Structure 1
Amino acid sequence: MLKTTTSLLFRAVQRRCCRPSLLRTFHCNSPLNPRLIPNTPRSFPNLVVHRKYATLGSTGTPQPPETKPTPRENIYTLPNALTVSRIVACPVLGWSILQNDFTLATTLLVYAGLTDLADGYLARRFNMQTVLGTILDPAADKTLMTTLTVTLAMQGLLPVPLAVVILGRDVLLSFSAFYIRYTSLPEPKTFSRYWDFSIPSAEVRPTAISKVNTALQLGLMGVTTISPLVPYAMGVPLQGFQWIVATTTIWSGLSYIFSKDAVRIVSERRQQKPPST
């Protein structure tokens, strides 16, 4: 009689400790030890907590949860290399203008234009777009524009007020880019991670007027660079071109302030992406 009662009591305790509601969270790989108190870590030496619960080992101590890996991308692509080559060529371009070597300056300007077209085509054709590329491409354009603006103004080929407008807009946009990079960088925000561009944080999307303004600025700088090589005067046409560029420069700077799609946070874009079925 005593043996039967003990057996029934043991089965009742076993059913209570291993009912389906508990098995949703806990997985027991060892038989219940009746000498130990149920529902304690000592009673389940191989206890595993799933999903949001920390793992309990044989000692019953919680293990740290797995950290979410930081998303990274391959930044060593041919389009990015072409973009970097445009940036590297800018100091040589500026030096050639200051040395009145406008033949070399025109050659480098043509190279910059061809590589600008090539890197965009390759990125789209072979699916090599990167978040870094969306930052490097406008940065290369701004580096080229800054080099041409400063050196041509120093040579007296570009009005100083127009140079101030162009450079002032670019400086303000550069400070904004540094601030957006810091605020959109995933935690932890360290100095090394800030300059690790394989960690995408935000992508820049130029506005429509900004694309038009960039084309007009490059056109003005190109015409101004080759003007010393042209045998006839271009003063009046260049002056009208300069007023147009001044207007589009101010307009494009304001468009970045009031546009909602100019800067997009990468994490927010991935959260909005519908889950795959």
Structure 2
Amino acid sequence: MLPTIAKASLRENIYTLPNILTASRLVAAPFVGYCILHDYHAMALGLFAYAGITDLLDGWIARRWNLKTVVGTVIDPMADKTLMTVLTVTLAMQGALPVWLAVIILGRDVGLAISAIYYRWISLPPPKTFARYWDFSLPSAEVRPTTISKYNTALQLGLMGLATLAPVFPAVDLATPLGVMQYVVAATTVWSGASYIYSKDAVKILTPTQAGEEKVEEKQKGPR
């Protein structure tokens, strides 16, 4: 029975509330950058707060009502990295972030993006077509962030939050904590990038049968 169910479950429902919230973070990212570049600091801070809240909320909803999807494991870190890239570039352009740190952060993310494109392609079930490549209802590879990567993401968001907060409250001197955070983030960014190279569990290639089996197991477990 299991192989039969697995074959019938090659596609998954990607239109879940957690995925919609994640998509909204992707949409919000360029608006955050626009606000920073045009000195709408309060609005930029508000959108940044929205991104942080929805980031916590979509994960909680996915776990609480068993709405985890393979595509969610891909677009969730993608949304985080898109926001991080926009913040890094725009804050560096405004002089709120050192250029050397922006190069480290962006360099790591470019490397991970190239790796993600590669793994998506080699793991895509045949036939390998451009349309099927962008059809994320076809699960092919599952990304599992390493522990240090999770800490690094939190630290990066903390740094970007401080840098975004500083112009809104100019009376508060945040120079010292910003300086310390910059060096901590630089170290953890390099460390997290290396962890993806040496970790065996960071990327899991899913065969069609495995994709179906994981969906069946999730259904059998029920809501957590």
Q: TM-score with structure 2 length normalisation?
A: 0.89
Asked if the contact 2:125–2:208 (Cα under 8 Å) also holds between the matched residues in 1, the reply is: no
Deviation at 1:270? 2.0
Asked if the contact 1:70–1:199 (Cα under 8 Å) also holds between the matched residues in 2, the reply is: no
The aligned amino acid for 2:77 is: P
Would you say 1:168 and 2:107 are equivalent positions?
Answer: yes
Asked if the contact 2:33–2:87 (Cα under 8 Å) also holds between the matched residues in 1, the reply is: yes
Would you say 1:204 and 2:143 are equivalent positions?
Answer: yes
Gaps of 5+ in 1: 1-67
Tell me which residue corresponds to 1:79.
18
Aligned-residue RMSD, C-alpha: 1.9
Tell me which residue corresponds to 1:6.
none
Tell me which residue corresponds to 2:194.
254
Gaps of 5+ in 2: 1-6, 218-224
The aligned amino acid for 1:246 is: A
The aligned amino acid for 2:154 is: A
Higher helix fraction: Structure 1 or Structure 2? Answer: 2
Asked if the contact 2:140–2:208 (Cα under 8 Å) also holds between the matched residues in 1, the reply is: no
Aligned match of 1:141 in 67, 77, 80? 80
Would you say 1:225 and 2:164 are equivalent positions?
Answer: yes
Tell me which residue corresponds to 2:94.
155
CA–CA separation in structure 2 for the residues paired with 1:77 and 1:99: 34
Would you say 1:193 and 2:124 are equivalent positions?
Answer: no
User: Cα 1:95–1:168, aligned 2, differ >3 Å: closer, same or farther?
Assistant: same
Aligned match of 2:58 in 102, 106, 119? 119
Matched positions, count:
208
The 5-angstrom pairing of residues 44-55 of structure 1 reads: none
Asked if the contact 2:152–2:189 (Cα under 8 Å) also holds between the matched residues in 1, the reply is: yes
Could you report, residue by residue, the CA deviation over 1:33-52 in whole angstroms, capped at 9, with x for unpaired residues? xxxxxxxxxxxxxxxxxxxx
Aligned match of 1:215 in 131, 148, 154? 154
Q: TM-score with structure 1 length normalisation?
A: 0.72
Larger radius of gyration: 1
CA–CA separation in structure 1 for the residues paired with 2:86 and 2:24: 15
Asked if the contact 1:213–1:245 (Cα under 8 Å) also holds between the matched residues in 2, the reply is: yes
Deviation at 1:233? 2.3
The aligned amino acid for 2:194 is: L
Deviation at 1:267? 1.6
Ranked by relative contact order (alpha carbons within 8 Å, sequence separation 6 or more), the top structure is 2
Aligned match of 1:105 in 20, 44, 61? 44
CA–CA separation in structure 2 for the residues paired with 1:234 and 1:242: 12
CA–CA separation in structure 2 for the residues paired with 1:269 and 1:229: 52
> Any runs of at least 4 consecutive aligned residues in structure 1 with deviations exceeding 4 A, and if so which?
none
- SS in structure 1 of the partner of residue 97 of structure 2: coil
Asked if the contact 2:108–2:193 (Cα under 8 Å) also holds between the matched residues in 1, the reply is: yes
Tell me which residue corresponds to 1:43.
none
The aligned amino acid for 1:73 is: E
- SS in structure 1 of the partner of residue 204 of structure 2: strand
Tell me which residue corresponds to 2:116.
177
CA–CA separation in structure 1 for the residues paired with 2:52 and 2:45: 11
- SS in structure 2 of the partner of residue 229 of structure 1: coil
Tell me which residue corresponds to 2:3.
none
Q: Percent identity?
A: 62
The aligned amino acid for 1:156 is: G
CA–CA separation in structure 2 for the residues paired with 1:126 and 1:196: 24
